[in-house]
Structure 1
Amino acid sequence: MADDKKPSNWQQAITGEWHGMPSLFEADGTHVGYNKVSRASEFKDGRTTYWMETKFDATGPLNDRFEIGAKFNFGVIDSDQDRIYTGPDFIGTGRPYGLLVDSRYFSPGWNVDLRTVNHVVPELGLQVYSSQLFEGDTLVGVFNGLYVVTQDHETNPETQQKVIDFLAKEKTDGKKPFNYPVKNAGVFRGEFEVYNDQQELIGTNKVTIHHKPINLLHSEQTIEIEGVVNRKWTAMRTRNGNHHQFHGPEMFGNGMSYGRYLYSIRHSFGEAFKLWSRETVVDDDYTMVCAWQFLESQKEKYTTFGVLHWEEGEEILGAVYVE
């Protein structure tokens, strides 16, 4: 192995030990427990090794399925084009886009094929993580949750306490349901990085979502994008439990939420263009971390991601009185 081999940009961005308490959901969205995780991807002597320690606290058959009783320790062929996982715990690849990696890989021990999206968000001091777990094309469960990174966890009691406090909060917040503001109109605003299908950063998008409740389960939303992508769509949204739908007139589709995370697919009316999205509400102020992938003619066109901040407006659904 060459001594002058350098770690990829993604590998450098995730240096340190990451700590989280991802929630575990059944395929229908039922929250069944947690997985306390410490993990790191370490570059040494020209090689990259990824290790992960897990401790599940869940109910039902998924707990037995995922608690295999051994530390994960697997090789990675590291690059900024593809990260190739070489086993024994995970076999497959990750596709980096700056501070986000979209991975598709297989776990022999869990017998699931995973789509894992990891997004490092420096402005929030978080990594936003999720794994959708499949047998073939059939979803069998979901992991998701937030992580924080440390560089001195083994030796610093103050750092250790911060991690303990963070994990306790994650255990409280992990099963909160995804929702938009129910009674107030307002605007989400933010800026997303934009990568093309060659994983090249080609600019940014200014993203604005105008949100207006219609009733407690329906709202009208207009998405405006300016920059590399210049588009505008309006659609009525509905929510029934953790089931979401988009009813047009300009975008149609659906999604399911698992705790604070909403995964959805929306089709642009009258053209071969659609949007896959993972949207995560990370605090009580409706701050939303988004990963949006645009597909044209069923092929990847742009991968974009960023943070949307909520600006509250008029209360639409105030108290109703009969005089």
Structure 2
Amino acid sequence: MSDNKQPSNWQKSIEGEWHGMPSLFEASGTHVGYNKVSRASEFADGRTTYWMQTRFDATGPLNDRFELGSPFKFGVIDSDQDRIYTGPDFIGSGRPYGLLVDSNYYSPGWNVNLRTMNHVVPDLGIQVYSSQLFEADTLVGVFNGLYIVTKDHETNPKTQKRVEQFLEHERRDGKRPFNLPVKHAGRFTGTFEVYNDKQELIGHNEVTIHHKPINLLHSEQTIEIKGVVNARWTAMRTRNGNHHQYHGPDMFGNGMSYGRYLYSVRHVFGQAYKLWSRETQVDEDYTLVCAWQFMQSQKEQYTTFGVLRWEEGDLVLGAQYVE
């Protein structure tokens, strides 16, 4: 291989060994277990090799399906346009956008097609990972969870202890359900990077979500976006278990949550425009790590991502009394 070949920007951003304890969910959203993972994408001698050690601890048929009893090791054609996975474990490709990659590939051993999204968040020191698992267009399960990276795990006892503590935290929080603030009004604010359909960074969006509970299962939200996208949309949101809906007047759609992760599709009323989103609650302060993709006329327009932080406002659903 050529000594002049250099790793892509995405490859540089994920150097090191990543450690996580992703949760495994049935298609219904039922949490059935965990998968302890160590993985790395390594560039050497002009080639990129991805390896992954997994150990499932789950119940039901999905455990037997996904526990192959063998480590993963597969080739990658690395670039900042497409990362192409050349098997034998995974066949397909990933599409990088800065510190996020959106991948679609097939696992012969698992017999699932995966939509995997990995988002490195340096400010939080984590990678936010998820895989939606399909047979054709039918969802059969979901993996999701947070990862941290190390450079000296094999030799440093302090690093090993930090990883052990992180994995225990993930085991505790992996099945925690996605909930918005149910009694307090307030707002979520943050800055998102914006990439066009050619994967070029073209600017930023300032995002504000004004949130007001109506009752314990309904809320009114207004999304305000300023920057590359300029928009203001209001919708009533409802939640029944892990099923979410958006009832207009400006956006209509639905979503399902799998633990801390909510996947949604929202259609803008009267326009050929929709928003696909993955929103992840990464702590108990309602901090959201978001990936939002805007679709115009069923085609990719913008891929955006960032962190939204919660600012608590008035208590609107306080204790009730009958005098």
TM range, smaller chain: over 0.9
> Tell me, what secondary structure is at the counterpart of 1:124?
coil
Q: Which residue of 1 aligns with 2:89?
A: 89
Q: Quick one: distance in 2 between partners of 1:284 and 1:277?
A: 20
> Tell me, what secondary structure is at the counterpart of 1:123?
coil
Question: Is residue 2:52 matched to residue 1:52?
Answer: yes
CA shift for structure 1 position 17: 0.1
Q: Which residue of 2 aligns with 1:32?
A: 32
Q: Which residue of 1 aligns with 2:203?
A: 203
1:3-28 per-position Cα deviation (integer Å, ceiling 9, x unaligned): 11000000000000000000000000
Query: Partner amino acid for 1:126?
Result: I
Q: Which residue of 1 aligns with 2:227?
A: 227
Q: Quick one: distance in 2 between partners of 1:255 and 1:66?
A: 25
Q: Which residue of 2 aligns with 1:275?
A: 275
Q: Quick one: distance in 1 between partners of 2:8 and 2:170?
A: 30
CA shift for structure 1 position 198: 0.1
Give aligned-pair identity as a percent.
81
Q: Quick one: distance in 2 between partners of 1:274 and 1:187?
A: 22
Q: Which residue of 2 aligns with 1:150?
A: 150
1:267-317 per-position Cα deviation (integer Å, ceiling 9, x unaligned): 000000000000000001000000000000000000000000000000010
Q: Which residue of 2 aligns with 1:297?
A: 297
CA shift for structure 1 position 246: 0.0
Q: Quick one: distance in 2 between partners of 1:244 and 1:309?
A: 21
After TM superposition, the structure 1 = structure 2 runs for residues 129-208 of structure 1, keeping only pairs within 5 Å, are 129-208=129-208
Q: Quick one: distance in 1 between partners of 2:20 and 2:261?
A: 16
Query: Partner amino acid for 2:67?
Result: E
Q: After TM superposition, what 4+ stretches of structure 1 lie above 6 angstroms from structure 2? A: none
> Tell me, what secondary structure is at the counterpart of 1:212?
strand
CA shift for structure 1 position 158: 0.1
Query: Partner amino acid for 1:237?
Result: R
Q: Quick one: distance in 1 between partners of 2:236 and 2:133?
A: 29
1:103-159 per-position Cα deviation (integer Å, ceiling 9, x unaligned): 000000000000000000000000000000000000000000000000000000000
Q: Which residue of 2 aligns with 1:308?
A: 308
1:191-210 per-position Cα deviation (integer Å, ceiling 9, x unaligned): 00000000000000000000
Let me know the Cα RMSD of the aligned residues: 0.2
Q: Quick one: distance in 2 between partners of 1:173 and 1:121?
A: 19
Q: Quick one: distance in 2 between partners of 1:175 and 1:69?
A: 25
Q: Which residue of 2 aligns with 1:247?
A: 247
Query: Partner amino acid for 2:209?
Result: I
Q: Which structure 1 residue ranges, 5 or more long, are not aligned?
A: none
CA shift for structure 1 position 165: 0.1
Q: Which structure 2 residue ranges, 5 or more long, are not aligned?
A: none
> Tell me, what secondary structure is at the counterpart of 1:286?
coil
Q: Quick one: distance in 1 between partners of 2:28 and 2:85?
A: 29
Aligned residues: 323
Query: Partner amino acid for 1:280?
Result: T
Give the TM-score, by structure 1 length. Answer: 1.00
Q: Which residue of 2 aligns with 1:115?
A: 115
Q: Quick one: distance in 2 between partners of 1:188 and 1:171?
A: 27
Q: Quick one: distance in 1 between partners of 2:251 and 2:63?
A: 38
